[in-house]
Amino acid sequence: MKTFTKDFTLQEPIPQEGIELALGVMQTGRLHRYNTMPGEKGYAAELEEAFAAYMGSRYCLACASCGSALYIALKSLGVQAGDTVLCNAYTLAPVPGAIENAGGKIELVEITDDYTIDIDDLDAKAARTGARFFLLSHMRGHMANMDKVMEVVRKHNLILLEDCAHTMGGSWDGKKSGTFGHAACYSTQTYKHMNSGEGGLLITNDDLVMARAIMYSGSYMLYTAHTARPDASVFEKVKKVTPNFSSRMDNLRAALLLPQLKILDEQCRRWNVLHDHMAARLKAIPGVVCPQRDPREGYVGSSIQWNLPKAGYADIETFIAKCAERGVSVKWFGNKEPNGFTSAYDSWQYFPYLATLDLPTTRRVLATMCDMRLPLTFSVEDCDVIADIIAEVVTEMGLR
């Protein structure tokens, strides 16, 4: 029986240049972003400049995590206690967590069979709730038709925040993911597209939003040490009325990230070689359904998802167990119990109304959706072994 022995959680090492920059930071002991020598910028500020330049955005703020960046972004965009925030129902726990942290009331929107937000449901719920805010999570790198999303955003005058944890380096119709909304957040947690263990990046072109975000992130009155920021005069309006949430990134993590940003596009290309090979193999397995992707979607295939529509609840559990026995690690957002990194929306019960919310399409899609990481430590040959195992398990279980 064929088995797979590589580790689905193993990322590539930090580039040598990043290790050297990080060692340099450690040798000086100046890890805190504001602990710089006169005239010295510090790597956190350098990273913000470099990421803003990469994204073509005016401003960037480095944070302790993407979850904290999302929370800070929501607050900076003006979310107040009790405000409704529209959000797609298929996302990762830090996203509803950020909305709760900002005091918002989440209004979940259905997803389609292709895992992206249901634009008609978005339109209907925006109209029904009169929501001002919309947090769109490009979950697992699946991008909705952004032309249509933006039509709804404009129609209802929504303030859009993009969660680009899985679309760093991605685009829609040639426009970078994260440049559609008023602000966007990215993750540099180990399993995302750049790795500093933990970390987040927030971009916006809005002066006031960035001034608030820098204050919220914990700049004290040292905000002029930031270089990807609006003019110091903008801070006069916010500096005394914006609390310090102490969610900064340090120079050590920024040192690890600077060289990774230089190779981000190449890494994304490598991910797509693995992803597209795996997708082609999976599509050829009877019983396996892969989502339709619009040719305008410039995705980054750092993970892959597919459905097993013939499977029942118990079948999926067995399928995952059989794959695991053979070394193939599959995750499942349809599990009734939250498990590992995954949880379904009805388990976010700090919003009590979610326990009984019925989103039939989202439920049906997630019930048989399988999710798998594709780390860059894998090769195309590895993808073939994994696909062979999946095909054998699907056949053996009669799920075709």
The binding site for ligand PLP (CB under 6 A) comprises 65-67, 91-92, 94-95, 137, 139, 163, 165-166, 187, 189, 200
Q: Find the shortest distance in angstroms from Cβ 66 to ligand PLP.
A: 3
Q: Find the shortest distance in angstroms from Cβ 274 to ligand PLP.
A: 18
Q: Find the shortest distance in angstroms from Cβ 163 to ligand PLP.
A: 5
Q: Find the shortest distance in angstroms from Cβ 289 to ligand PLP.
A: 22
CB closer to ligand PLP, 208 vs 376: 376
Q: Is the torsion defined by CA of 9, 101, 200, 123 positive or negative?
A: positive
Q: Find the shortest distance in angstroms from Cβ 121 to ligand PLP.
A: 19
CA proximity to 1, closest of 321, 388, 313, 294: 388
Concatenated DSSP letters of 260-306: HHHTHHHHHHHHHHHHHHHHHHHHTSTT-B-----TTEE---SEEEE
SS (H, E, C) 236-273: HCCCCCCCCCCCECCHHHHHHHHHHHHCHHHHHHHHHH
Query: Cα–Cα distances in Å, from 320 out to 82, 149, 324?
Result: 40, 34, 6
CB closer to ligand PLP, 139 vs 285: 139
Q: Find the shortest distance in angstroms from Cβ 371 to ligand PLP.
A: 11
Q: Find the shortest distance in angstroms from Cβ 122 to ligand PLP.
A: 17
Note whether 104 and 83 are within 8 A (CB): yes
Q: Find the shortest distance in angstroms from Cβ 94 to ligand PLP.
A: 4
Note whether 117 and 144 are within 8 A (CB): yes
Q: What are phi and psi of 176, to 5 degrees?
A: -65, 140
Q: Find the shortest distance in angstroms from Cβ 166 to ligand PLP.
A: 5
Q: How far apart are the C-alpha atoms of 334 and 354, rounded to whole Å? A: 15
Instruction: Sort 148 into a burial class: Cβ within 10 Å, 0-12 / 13-18 / 19+.
Output: middle
CA proximity to 160, closest of 87, 59, 51, 60: 87
CB closer to ligand PLP, 106 vs 234: 106
CB closer to ligand PLP, 47 vs 399: 47
CB closer to ligand PLP, 256 vs 391: 256
> How many other C-beta atoms can be found within 10 angstroms of the C-beta atom of residue 299?
24
Q: Is the torsion defined by CA of 333, 335, 341, 347 positive or negative?
A: positive
Q: Find the shortest distance in angstroms from Cβ 257 to ligand PLP.
A: 12
Spatial CB neighbours of 114, under 8 Å, sequence gap ≥ 6: 142, 291, 292, 293
Question: For residue 62, which amino acid is it?
Answer: A
Beta partners for residue 88, in sequence order? 109
Q: Is the torsion defined by CA of 248, 249, 252, 255 positive or negative?
A: negative
CB closer to ligand PLP, 101 vs 368: 101
What six digits make up the tokens of 65? Answer: 């995590």
